[in-house]
Structure 1
Amino acid sequence: MEEKEIQDEIFAYLEKMKGKKKLKEKDIYKKMMADHAELDKNTVKTALRAMINVGKVMYSYGGGASSVEIPSEEYLKEKGLI
């Protein structure tokens, strides 16, 4: 599976869960590896890190735990990404 395909699936999963549950990195690893037996943690981690580096997703912190989420438009405008 190509890294781009993995990133698309991660993004779709984050969109689906937005507003329902804050996902931790571990939740994303488990979901992707359950759906695709050929994937390992490092492959998923590399794809997720690439998404974070370009600003497609971001880490957030709240309630004593960090999570991964899709940034809001206001945040992207503030950072000059759009």
Structure 2
Amino acid sequence: MELTAPEWAGATKPVCVDACMVPVIEALWAARIWTLNCCCGHNGEFDRAVIVDRADRKRAEEVIDRLGDGANVGAWELVWSKERG
């Protein structure tokens, strides 16, 4: 499905989201948590998941717990392969 991103996110194009993840994404956006990626779990082969900024991970878990959805929350972390000076 294509969702229109909230104005506060600054996205200018529709965002494609797996249909089963729409309630999760909409709940996170309503809590002003931007999502970086999500996955429906490929028909049960994998767990359903949503990826957020590391600083938002705990809040995202709380939102999903309140929703009763059960999707896993992951977070991106920037790690350099070499030390930067």
Tell me, yes or no, whether TM beats 0.5: no
Higher relative contact order (CA 8 A, sep 6+): 1
TM-score by length of 1: 0.31
What is the TM-score when the length of structure 2 is the normalising length?
0.31
More strand by share: 2
Task: Identify, as 1 or 2, the structure richer in helix.
Answer: 1
